[in-house]
Structure 1
Amino acid sequence: MSSRLVEQLGAHRAAGATSSDLAQQVRALILDGRLTVGERLPSERALAAELRRSRSTITRAYDQLEAAGYAVRLHGGGTRVALPHARTSSSPLDGDAQSIDLSIASMDSTPGLYDATVRSLPRLAALRGTSGYSLQGLPELRDAIAQRFTLRGVPTLAEEIIVTSGALNAMNLVLATIGRRGERALVEQPTFPHALEALRRHGYRLLPTPVDVDGWDQDHLMDLLLRARPHVGYLIPDFHNPTGASLPDAARERVAATARSAGTQLIVDETTAELDIDRGWTPTPLAAYSPQIITVGSMSKIAWGGMRLGWIRAERDLIARLLAVRPSFELGTALLEQCIAVELLDDMPALSAHVTARLRAGREAVSAGLAQIDGLRMPETPGGLSAWLDLGAPVSTRLALAAREHGLILPPGPRFATGGVLERRLRIPITLPPERTHTALARLRHAWRDVRDGSAEHIGEVPSAAVI
């Protein structure tokens, strides 16, 4: 069984790395949060055996990490992850030392949030005589969410909805209820990193199926469902995170039927479903094709990330099971957020118009910034959270490390995958204000220059044009 470090690195990629490259890859995992401070690394002997490298190579890699402050060796305690106490920046960008974090693809709050909060206060005041606990969610909010599903083509009742503290909270509740340790889970590659972590935490073995800006490899997806018969499948069919792709209606029907035949429970993440700019068509939710499909959603991307409010739509018998499990780790969702959400959902046209305008401006800013970077260009991005770039060479981790030296936090492509792959890819959010995006892309341009200048020594010359 592979160590967690090798699973994160990707055995094939790490096996041919020099000691310096291996140290760089581990450093990237630490900076990206995939290895945590204090976590124990494999012994030199064990890691050498896993990667089929000499022990001296591993020793040199660990020595470099320790010298840079990213590892500490404890007598009798092995080697553990650390962070340097102080870091210096060689950024040429004078006058702005504050980092810009592109690991978070989320907009600031909708302008209507304040007014919705004020309007919600009488509703909240009327609840003061209750216990304040809301295990399933306020009836009026569940009704509003159900009506939204019905308008989108999936007839839904309030009894089929649970209000949660965000979509990730919803997914963890689902997995705590139906999860089976040791079973297999189908996941898209790339996908939302925290969903991968949740599935791993609940003991699933992950089976990736590829997605790109032009969509899913549908034959691979169907074959994997029928051949592996995974217990669960996690899909983001609308404005997929991070590629921005949307699954066509015909494919949705086929996926639902195939999953039903394979005995796979589909968990559909609709957190990004409302993030349309100019897709030009409106697909039917996947839940319309099978009553067994579990759908999770959230207000975080259309209203504000600070509103920790999401939901689950499922059949009533599963709702009952979810409600039986939920008290083991929480007793409901905050009432203030629920009262605000009722007001926001009552004016979805205004909310959607704001989201579209902000995303369009963000997309234009990213496109303009990338136009100034030789070798990179904007892929088709009809909506969603981000642009999914092809760098033309496996330099994503190196670029992410270079970006840190210029005050830019940038998750590399492997952050969105299993097994350390997707080194040619990079996610750039389109959710920041244009002026912030302009600064971020200027910093990316400097980091890209650093990678290109040093690329011949390590990986060969970076192509002058990316393959999209």
Structure 2
Amino acid sequence: MGSRLVEQLGAHNVAGSAATTLADRIRALILDGRLTVGERLPSERALAVELRRSRSTITRAYGLLEADGYVSRLHGGSTRVTLPNGHAAPGAEADDDAIDLSIASMDSTPGLYDATVRSLPRLAALRGTSGYSLRGLPELREAVAQRFRDRGAPTSADEIIITSGALNAVNLILAAIGRRGERALVEQPTFPHALEALHRHGYRLLPTPVDVDGWDTRHLNETLLGSRPHVAYLIPDFHNPTGATLPDEERPRIVTTARNVGTQLIVDETTTELDIDRGWSPAPMAASGPNVITVGSMSKIAWGGMRIGWIRAERTVIARLLAVRPSFELGTALLEQCIAVELLADMPALTSHVGQRLHDGRAAVEAGVAGIPGFRMPPTPGGLSAWLDIGTPLSTSLSLAARERQLILPPGPRFTTGGVLERRLRIPITLPPERTAEAMRRLSLAWEDVRGAGASPHAELQHAAVI
């Protein structure tokens, strides 16, 4: 079995790379957090064998990284990931002047303050309880169930668990039903932290392609039939990052195929409510069969600081989730649950506000893209971001150049399982327009830096890296 470094790089993507190119790709993985500080890298000899390169090339690449402070080496010992002095660790707070496009999230809805005030009597009434709630408040579970019923999926409050966000929900599901060594079908591209969660629970990933035009549903169904994965993780509504929506007629077919082969579907609806002008509302996949576990969240429609999510599943699955949950948490914060009850009671106003904010953010990205030669922005009817085609496979190089312009920008391969999609770039449409305009100005300058450096698109296509 190969090393994690080569898995992240993609051996085929760095075949024949010079030492400087290999060092750049490893540095990009470190800056993006895919390689963690303190992590041990393969020895020079082992990496040379894996990549089929000379040991001198690997020695030179590690030497360049060490000179820049990205690895530390002990003679005759290990090579470990470090960060140079003055560099923030991935995920740390950025400088005030930096613009972080790795987070696709809006600031809080104007109604959050009033909802918080209205929630206080509800919270006060709970003071006589223990304060722990594995399932979640009954009134919040009923409000979430009602949202499913309104959208065409009959649901009772007993089929809902309230969680501390959607990613927390995914990890709870995998802790309860996961099987190490099994296969998991995932979209390519998809939400990176879901890929990390599946990896952490020991799954082998099977990618199925998605683009701005939608899913290759034939490939998806054939993968289900041929590989019979244990789970499949899908984002059918305003897919992250492409923005595509799975057609109504395809949903029951996928659910039925998955049920027939014994695949448990994990459907992420975190972006479902982020409509700008799609013009139609699909039925939830949960309406098509009992083998669907649905994950949702308040973070994208209210505020990222509202760590409220939920799981909808059949009662037998709910029982398994409740049995596992106490091993790592004892419930979700009651104040935030009380606030969520108030917010869900006024969903039309909330989604209207979100839709307008996304509309303005989309317009700002469109204006910025129009000024960058070779960039193309596809139709973006909703969701968190625009999935840009930058014309040439230089996404990783652009991401590195953007950091020098105080712009934190994940490249296309960050959203994949194998170092592909170097022509793609995800740009959030969630920032205020003036902030987006400045981000796009910096992106344009970074693109000029990349093109001015004389990067070869053909070389980059052959040696693209995973981020």
For normalisation by structure 2, the TM-score amounts to: 0.96
C-alpha displacement of 1:77: 3.8
After TM superposition, the structure 1 = structure 2 runs for residues 188-267 of structure 1, keeping only pairs within 5 Å, are: 188-267=187-266
Q: 1:340 and 1:456 mapped to 2: Cα distance?
A: 51
- Who is 2:130 aligned against? 131
Work out whether 1:67 is the aligned partner of 2:67: yes
- 1:36 maps to a residue whose letter is T
Aligned partner of 2:442 in structure 1 is 443
- Matched residue of 2:147: which SS? helix
**What is the DSSP-based 3-state SS (H/G/I as helix, E as strand, rest coil) of the residue aligned with 1:455?**
coil
Q: What amino acid is aligned across from residue 6 of structure 2 in structure 1?
A: V
Deviation (angstroms), 1:133? 0.2
Q: Distance in 1 between matches of 2:342 and 2:18?
A: 57
Unaligned runs of 5+ in 2: 89-94, 462-467
Alignment of 1:347-358 (within 5 A): 347-358=346-357
Q: Secondary structure at the match of 2:243?
A: coil
The structure-2 alpha-carbon separation of the partners of 1:28 and 1:456, relative to structure 1 and needing over 3 Å to count, comes to closer
Distance 1:456 1:51 in 2: 22
Aligned equivalents of 1:307, 1:429: Cα separation in 2: 19
* Counterpart position of 1:18: 18
Is residue 47 of structure 1 aligned with residue 10 of structure 2?
Answer: no
Q: How does 1:263-342 map to 2 (within 5 A)?
A: 263-342=262-341
Where 1:369 maps in the other structure, the secondary structure is: helix
**Match of 1:353, as an amino acid?**
S
Number of residue pairs the alignment of both structures matches: 455
Residue 377 of structure 1: CA displacement?
2.5
Please state how far the C-alpha of 1:421 moved relative to its aligned partner. Answer: 1.3
Write the mapping of 1:392-431 to structure 2, written as runs, cut at 5 A.
Answer: 392-431=391-430
Q: Measure how far apart 1:16 and its partner are.
A: 2.5
Pairwise CA distance, 1:262: 1.4
Distance in structure 2 (CA, Å) of the matches to 1:354 and 1:69? 45
Whole-angstrom distance in 1 between the partners of 2:257 and 2:142: 31
Report the more deviating stretch, 416-425 or 232-241. 416-425
Deviation at 1:392, TM superposition (A): 1.7
**Residue identity (%):** 77
Give 3-state SS (helix, strand or coil) of 1:66's partner. helix
Aligned to 1:85: 85
How far apart are the structure 1 equivalents of 2:51 and 2:313? 44
Alpha-carbon distance in 2 for matches of 1:460, 1:55: 22
* Kept in 1: contact 2:269–2:296 (CA 8 A): yes
The answer to whether the Cα contact below 8 Å between 2:376 and 2:391 also exists between their aligned partners in 1 is no
SS at match of 2:454: helix
Distance 1:410 1:322 in 2: 36
Residues 41, 80 of structure 1: 8 Å contact kept: yes
Structure 1 residues 438 and 156 mapped into 2: Cα distance closer, same or farther (>3 Å)? same
Partner of 2:384: 385
Q: Does the C-alpha gap of structure 1 residues 461 and 85 become closer, same or farther in structure 2, counting only changes over 3 Å?
A: closer
Letter in 2 for 1:42: P
Tell me which residue corresponds to 1:93: none
* SS in structure 2 at match of 1:382: coil
Does residue 171 in structure 1 map to residue 167 in structure 2? Answer: no
Counterpart-to-counterpart distance in 2, 1:28 and 1:431: 25
Following the alignment from structure 2 to structure 1, what is the Cα–Cα distance between the partners of residues 304 and 216?
A: 31
- What is the letter of the counterpart of residue 47 of structure 1? L
Does 450-459 or 53-62 show the bigger shift?
Answer: 450-459
**Displacement of 1:457:** 5.1
Cα pair 1:396 1:423 within 8 Å, conserved: yes
CA contact (8 A) 1:367 1:377 kept: no
For residues 188-228 of structure 1, the C-alpha deviation after alignment (integer angstroms, 9 at most, x for no partner) is 00000000000000000000000000000111101100000
Classify the secondary structure of the residue corresponding to 1:281: coil
CA separation in 1, counterparts of 2:231 and 2:460?
Answer: 42
Contact 1:97 1:407 in 2 (8 A): no
Secondary structure of the equivalent of 1:181?
A: coil
Structure 2 match to 1:2: 2
**Residue pair 2:140, 2:337 contacting (<8 A) in 1 also:** yes
Indicate if the aligned counterparts of 2:393 and 2:457 stay in contact, CA closer than 8 A: no
1:250, distance to aligned residue in structure 2 (A):
0.8
TM-score by length of 1: 0.95
Contact 1:452–1:461 (8 Å) recurs in 2: no
Identify the residue that residue 108 of structure 1 maps to in structure 2. Answer: 107
1:127-155 CA deviation, whole Å, 9 max, x = no partner? 00000001100000000000000000001
Deviation at 1:18, TM superposition (A): 1.2
Contact 2:186–2:234 (CA under 8 A) maintained in structure 1: yes
- Contact 1:166 1:310 (C-alpha < 8 Å) held by counterparts: yes
* Per-residue Cα deviation, 1:37-76 (whole angstroms, up to 9, x for no partner): 1111100100111111111111111011011111111245
Offset at 1:256? 0.6
CA distance in 2, matches of 1:388, 1:28: 20
CA distance in 2, matches of 1:461, 1:63: 22
What secondary structure, in the 3-state scheme, does the structure 2 residue paired with 1:37 have? coil
Report the CA distance shift for 1:461/1:332 in structure 2 as closer, same or farther (over 3 A): closer
